[in-house]
Structures are given as C-alpha cells and as structure tokens.
A = this chain, B = another copy of it.
Amino acid sequence: MRSYNQYCSMARALDLVGDRWTLLIVRELLTQGPCRFSDLRRGLPGIASNLLAERLREMESAGLIIRREEPPPVAATLIGLTGRGQDLGSVVRELTRWGAPLMTAPSADDEFRVHWFSLPLRHLCRDGSPDEPAVVVRLGDLYDGCDVIADHGRVDVRPCSTERQPDATVTAPPQVLVALFTGLMPLRTARTKGLVVDGSAAAFDRILPKGEQNHD
C-alpha cells in the first residue's frame, strides 16, 4: 500500500496492515497457529495466490511473520506470527467485536470456516460445570474446526488437536452455530435447524452460554 505520509501513529499502522487481506492473514495465523501457504489459501477463500505471496513478503519484511523450514515428516515451510504480529490480536479483537452486529444471515455466496468463529467463541463460551473433569468439545472437524476445552471453570479455544479425542463433536449450519452461541437461538431450535451433536451431550451443554442450556 502506498504510504499515507502522515506522522501519525494510526496512519503508520495502516501503512503496514491497512492493505487488503493483511489483517485477515493475521486472523488466520492467530486462530490456526503456524500455517503453510496452502493452509492459508484454504482459510482465505477468494485470495489470489500471487497476492497472498506478495502480502507474506510484505509482512515478513515488516516483522509481522517469520518462515520456518520444518524438517521431515512435515517437510514444509511454516508461516507464523512474530511477537509483533501477535500484538495485532487486540486490533483483530476490536474489529471482530465491532463487526458482531453485522453477522446477519449469510448471503448466498458467502464462504464460511468454523475456525473464523473461534475468536469470538472465546468470550461466548463458559464452563457450566467447573468441578467436573475437563472436557473437549470439537466444533466442525479436523480440516476446519476448533476445540473448546472447559477445565476448572476456564474455557480455552484452540486449533483442533489430535492428541486428545473430543468428548463431543458438533456440526451446524453457519448461521445456526453463530445464533446459538450468541444467545439468539435456543438449543432446541438449533437442533431442528441442523445442529448435530455427536458424543456427550452433557459436554456440549457445559460450554453453552448461560441461559441457553437445558432447553431441551
């Protein structure tokens, strides 16, 4: 992006991250952890490969990301955020919060990835049974999803892990998923609209926002 040529903190920030796609790349790396080039492409439907390559070059020279050659069996270069890049988390969070009221019904050509929802999810889930042993609830699947871990009253949302099998696996249409966790749709309505819980219903119930459990 052309510089604004303004001696202003925000203008200089936008000189680095105001380009199209840049903050969405940060979103991907924040929610997914270090990624390979093709992982980023999958999480950024619509981006042209040359544009992604160009953005990554710019972000690397700005000190936002680093590339790490991974030895076999991975044998690929992983792209991860630097500390400075992770500091953009607060910017991403505020944009996400401001955009929340815009999450009306998806249009026909809107794409959706479950892991996009994992940042807001952090603040929407709770641990309804803090005295029980920890549980893992998977939203989506291994290829696009995230794990919600409830443990001792704390809730954590992470990229899917293969280390521990989830206690419950949940799938739902995008809008149902969003409406359920933002409290706009009761669980039993969600069930009628395509929400499916595989495994422990109690585990899923445990992480649902207050007032939305025990509705069926």
Contact = CB atoms under 8 A, between A and B. Distances in A.
Interface in A12-26: 12-18, 20, 23-24
Contacts of A4: 24, 46
Interface residues of A, number: 51
B14 A23 contact: yes
A6 B102 contact: no
A98 B102 contact: no
Interface of A: 1, 4-18, 20, 23-24, 27, 45-46, 87-88, 90-100, 102-103, 106-107, 109-113, 116-117, 119-120, 174-175, 178
Contacts of A8: 27, 99, 112-113, 116-117
Nearest to A21: B4
A91 B92 CA distance: 8
A64 to B, nearest CB: 11
Contacts of A99: 8-14
Contacts of A97: 9, 90
B102 A7 contact: no
B88 A91 contact: no
Nearest to A120: B9
Contact of A103 (B9, B94, B106, B110): B9
A5 B46 contact: yes
A116 B93 CA distance: 23
Contacts of A27: 8, 10
